[in-house]
Amino acid sequence: MKRLFALLVVLVLALAACGGGNEEAAQTGGGTDLGGREILIGSDTAYPPFEFVDENNQIVGFDVDMMNAVCEIANCKPKFVSAQWDGIFAALAAGEFDAVVSAVTITEERDKLIDFSRPYLNAGQIITVRVDNNDITKPEDLKGHVVGVQLGTTGDIEASKYVEEENIRRYETIDLAMLALANGDIEAVVADAPTSADIVNKQFAGQLKLVGEPFTEEYYGIAINPEETAELKPAFDAALKQLIESGKLAEIAEKWGIPASAVQNLPESGLK
């Protein structure tokens, strides 16, 4: 009986070891099938056309469609939840989300706190002014003027290179910055080109205009909770690569009024 019991114990342990090894390999060996798991995604849902709440109170936009396509390939279920931009990366690092998908520019500073997928879009900063303003046409013209930005964004960072601190006005959302510009409270806004164009065209046509060309080159990526990187990054990277190469990501971009060129010829890393 003891020998039989011992044999059973050995058999159970052997099976457990095999199962555990397979699971560990799936999680740490760069597998691309996420097994149907839910991905909790934090997003600042006031940034069209990337993410916003529509008339049916649903979170929609380019990033939502992109993650749906990613999860279709990677076998996962994206669940978007609205979150304030200010503090969103600290919340991700603390494990409140599995990922943040919110037109997030990949930067060296953010990369110290969280991890990123490969880039999925190239979006530069651009300047928006009122239609009667002919004094500001390039970043160097911003000095001495009152400029609005969304708090904590790369627009905030880039504007600070040209504008005195006392002349920068920081807003919780980019919509509020654009509204302040239209109302004459500030003289210009610095923000991502695709979103600036979308807001101006849909909300402030005839009142605001974009001037010049994008004056930075920066890449959006899926921000990942570092504790989830080993499992999520290989799956996300593989799915994004497939979407880019197949042209599917370009189709999603054009659906939301984003030029296909913004999602083509992207590098494997958004860090220089």
Contacts of 235 (CB under 8 A, 6+ apart): 31, 32, 33, 34, 74, 76
What are the residue ranges spanned by the domains of the chain?
37-122+219-263, 125-211
Residue 71 CA: distances (Å) to CA of 22, 25, 240, 255: 22, 20, 10, 19
For residue 111 the two structure tokens come to 């990369």
For residue 184 the two structure tokens come to 């004459």
Instruction: Look at residue 170 in the predicted model and tell me its pLDDT.
Output: 98
Instruction: Look at residue 7 in the predicted model and tell me its pLDDT.
Output: 34
Task: Quickly tell me which residue has 């099938």 as its tokens.
Answer: 33
Gyration radius of the chain's alpha carbons: 22
Instruction: Look at residue 272 in the predicted model and tell me its pLDDT.
Output: 75
For residue 226, say if its preceding peptide bond is cis, omega within 30 degrees of 0.
no
Quick one: which of 98, 213, 109 has its CA closest to 153?
109
Instruction: Look at residue 259 in the predicted model and tell me its pLDDT.
Output: 83
Distance CA 245, CA 99 (A): 23
What does the pLDDT profile of the chain (272 residues) look like in tens digits? 333 333 333 333 333 344 443 333 333 334 689 999 999 999 999 999 999 999 999 999 999 999 999 999 999 999 999 999 999 999 999 999 999 999 999 999 999 999 999 999 999 999 999 999 999 999 999 999 999 999 999 999 999 999 999 999 999 999 999 999 999 999 999 999 999 999 999 999 999 999 988 899 899 999 999 999 999 999 999 999 999 999 999 999 999 999 888 898 899 999 87
State the SS3 of the chain: CHHHHHHHHHHHHHHHHHHHHHHHHHHHCCCCCCCCEEEEEEECCEECCCEEECCCCCEECHHHHHHHHHHHHHCEEEEEEECCCCCHHHHHHCCCCCEECCCCECCHHHHCCCEECCCCEECCEEEEEECCCCCCCCHHHHCCCCEEEECCCHHHHHHCCCCCHHHEEEECCHHHHHHHHHCCCCCEEEEEHHHHHHHHHHHCCCCEEEECCCCCCCEECCEECHHHHHHHHHHHHHHHHHHHHHCHHHHHHHHCCCCHHHHCCCCCCCCC
8 A C-beta contact, residue 34 and residue 75: yes
- State CA 139 to chain mean position distance: 24
Instruction: Look at residue 66 in the predicted model and tell me its pLDDT.
Output: 98
Q: Assess if CATH 3.30.565.10 describes domain 37-122+219-263.
A: no
Distance CA 92, CA 41 (A): 9
Instruction: Look at residue 217 in the predicted model and tell me its pLDDT.
Output: 87
Q: What architecture is the 125-211 domain classified under in CATH?
A: 3-Layer(aba) Sandwich (3.40)
Instruction: Look at residue 32 in the predicted model and tell me its pLDDT.
Output: 87
Instruction: Look at residue 192 in the predicted model and tell me its pLDDT.
Output: 94
Instruction: Look at residue 178 in the predicted model and tell me its pLDDT.
Output: 98
